[in-house]
Structure 1
């Protein structure tokens, strides 16, 4: 079905924008169960370039994406007892770049999805800030119902009243404390059967991988009351915070 100017449908949901077209990929990184070793993500050998070259994202956009994620994480409701402060990870950014340049509107590469979470967004037209490309992820919050502790016996139910909530839950997954994104302009890309030209493609990768079925994205409670021991009780802006080094981009 051809796309109408200014609108695109996703499971019955319409996104409206002025002089733009924006689309979301349903998050395909929902995992059925945790298994041994899933916290380890060996990017070597998974098609991730090691060399440093001109990046597909500016330092300004890196900071904007990171700050926005931490803003959303700090303001969850109900409040989170174990929300970890998110930092930039260049390895994740390089893996996001490697996938974005393929101009494939799907999650991938498949061998990497076992180890990282991933959110995708694509945009046709002008935009003022990279944050505009991810706001629709956080806006899924209005459709997500945090499971009551009494309902997690032992597995938590998944309650989403909209077409998708998993972009938001990945953003606020407490232990997903590393982020790496890339932006690439695709000359042409197939999006649900239609060809988009000069489309801005955003790929964000997360570690540790979130969206585990049967688990809540975070523990409900007083902010920082259940931080992992490695934080040694340090807290900043409602998030577990490991110190000054966490307040800058990490380069590897």
Structure 2
């Protein structure tokens, strides 16, 4: 992984989290997903990356075990082509995860239930899970595919929980020493 690709993953995550937090993300019904009161800005974590890369190096198109990823969340993406541009794959993977909102939607109460999860929004919900603020990602060239993944610390996708709290951006950051980036609508952890 290069610093350029790491930064692309962080920027894409934060761009999308900002769009969602400010209520500008289109859902499948043609409206917008609700604004987020407690969306944290993500930062990069090389320890999380190393764990993700360890899994990607195995070139198995499946999620690693919950224990194997230290209880962290995980999003995967794959294209049946080898040696694709890693920078473009970083962008494309995050965009694909975000597209689940427009393709499948989430309920107006923003609660992740099993029924909602089964409709194919698990990548989206992990991408914008309010307190998943440390990411580590990777792109691996495998024999039959280009394999991409990100892990999230702390994990998200708790069934029965809110993906994020609905409200005006940054009004419920609830983290010690947090500040608000008003332009992005994201809570910034010190």
Does TM-score exceed 0.5, indicating one fold? yes
The structure having more radius of gyration, on CA atoms, is 1
Q: Which residue number corresponds to residue 187 of structure 2? A: 240
Deviation string 1:44-76 (CA, Å, 9 cap, x unpaired) is xxxxxxxxxxxxx22111111110011111111
Residue 203 (structure 1) aligned to one of 128, 146, 149: 149
Q: In the superposition, relative to structure 1, how do residues 183 and 81 fare at CA in structure 2: closer, same or farther (>3 Å)?
A: same
Q: Which residue number corresponds to residue 141 of structure 1? A: 101
In structure 2, the gaps of 5 or more residues are 21-32
Return 103-112 or 160-169, whichever deviates more: 160-169
Deviation string 1:8-58 (CA, Å, 9 cap, x unpaired) is xxxxxxxxxxxxxxxxxxxxxxxxxxxxxxxxxxxxxxxxxxxxxxxxx22
Q: Which residue number corresponds to residue 218 of structure 1? A: 164
Q: In the superposition, relative to structure 1, how do residues 215 and 124 fare at CA in structure 2: closer, same or farther (>3 Å)?
A: same
In structure 1, the gaps of 5 or more residues are 1-56, 188-196, 244-252
Q: In the superposition, relative to structure 1, how do residues 157 and 186 fare at CA in structure 2: closer, same or farther (>3 Å)?
A: closer
Matches of 2:149 and 2:35, distance apart in 1: 28
Of Structure 1 and Structure 2, the greater helix share is in 2
Residue 228 (structure 1) aligned to one of 174, 179, 184: 174
Return 76-85 or 225-234, whichever deviates more: 225-234
Higher relative contact order (CA closer than 8 Å, sequence separation 6+): 2
Residue 116 of structure 1: how far off its partner (Å): 0.2
Q: RMSD across aligned C-alpha pairs, in angstroms?
A: 2.2
Matches of 1:93 and 1:84, distance apart in 2: 19
Q: Which residue number corresponds to residue 66 of structure 1? A: 10
Matches of 2:129 and 2:117, distance apart in 1: 19
Q: How many residues align?
A: 172
Tell me the secondary structure at the aligned position of residue 148 of structure 2. strand
